[in-house]
């Protein structure tokens, strides 16, 4: 499949759960908002809803159960082989709840992206919304970033801010952040497929211009 004369980018999505961000990619692809084709969805957990989302639209869905491997390294080696079999241009972590080894990351560096539910570098790891509320922050958000061996430490591409309300619970805040995640993640993928976003020596460039450490800040104008 092609867009004009340019082949569609080949995308592999890794999931561990419901796949709501995967669904945003499926819909963006269907609407022609990503110049890419999802070649496969791979989950480290069997029976999750994300696999169903993929199979419902004819995308190959594959389980590589981490529990079947003796070590993290063996799992990562096999997972990398499965991914490489699809010769991807872009590998998307969409709620993939595994810490990846340095050897794995280095195989895909520069074409491996993740979304994290905080305004990195604030709150890497888990329980981000609870931590933001407990800290008394006025805003939370999400960050799309390139993946490097450092957990949630790769250079930021795009962030979106979400106000924290005085009445917010972590669950309520998470739901509002997720709505924004579904906007910015496919957008970054489209930028990547168009060649508008690249990482070179750990620095992110958007349209040839160096992006600051916090990445770009999403607004309605970001989509243009």
87 and 125 part of one domain: no
150 and 224 part of one domain: yes
223 and 121 part of one domain: yes
For every residue of 123-138, DSSP letters joined together read S-SS-HHHHHHHTT-S
44 and 146 part of one domain: no
77 and 55 part of one domain: yes
**Catalytic member of 116, 129, 145, 182:** 116
pLDDT above 90 coverage of the chain, percent: 93
Distance (Å, rounded) from C-alpha 113 to C-alpha 64?
A: 19
pLDDT > 70? residue 221: no
Compute the average pLDDT of residues 159-175.
98
Structure pTM? 0.95
Distance (Å, rounded) from C-alpha 160 to C-alpha 176?
A: 11
77 and 132 part of one domain: no
Indicate the pLDDT class of residue 2, thresholds 50, 70 and 90. Answer: very low
Q: Which residue segment(s) compose the domain that 121 sits in? A: 115-224
Indicate the pLDDT class of residue 223, thresholds 50, 70 and 90. Answer: low
Let me know if 116 is a catalytic residue. Answer: yes
101 and 127 part of one domain: no
104 and 25 part of one domain: yes
> Any residues with CB less than 8 A from the CB of 5 and at least 6 apart, and which?
none
81 and 155 part of one domain: no
Question: Into how many domains does the chain fold?
Answer: 2
Domain harbouring 125, CATH code: 3.40.50.170
Digit-coded pLDDT (tens) for 20-55 = 999 999 999 999 999 999 999 999 999 999 999 999
């Amino acid at each position: 499949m092609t867009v004009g004369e340019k082949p569609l980018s080949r995308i592999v999505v890794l999931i561990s759960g419901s796949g709501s961000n995967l669904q945003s990619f499926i819909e963006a692809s269907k609407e022609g908002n990503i110049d890419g084709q999802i070649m496969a969805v791979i989950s480290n957990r069997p029976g999750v809803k994300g696999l169903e989302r993929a199979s419902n639209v004819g995308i190959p869905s594959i389980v590589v159960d981490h529990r079947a491997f003796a070590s993290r390294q063996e799992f990562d080696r096999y997972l990398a082989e499965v991914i490489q079999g699809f010769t991807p241009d872009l590998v998307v972590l969409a709620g993939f709840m595994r810490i990846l080894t340095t050897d794995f990351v280095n195989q895909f560096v520069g074409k491996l992206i993740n979304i994290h539910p905080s305004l990195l570098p604030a709150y890497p790891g888990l329980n981000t919304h609870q931590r933001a509320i407990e800290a008394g922050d006025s805003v939370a958000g999400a960050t799309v970033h390139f993946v490097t061996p450092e957990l949630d430490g790769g250079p930021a591409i795009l962030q979106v801010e979400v106000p924290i309300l005085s009445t917010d619970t972590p669950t309520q805040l998470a739901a509002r952040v997720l709505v924004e995640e579904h906007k910015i993640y496919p957008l970054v993928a489209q930028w990547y497929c168009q060649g508008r976003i690249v990482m070179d020596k750990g620095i992110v460039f958007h349209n040839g211009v160096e992006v600051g450490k916090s990445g770009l800040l999403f607004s309605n104008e970001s989509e243009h």
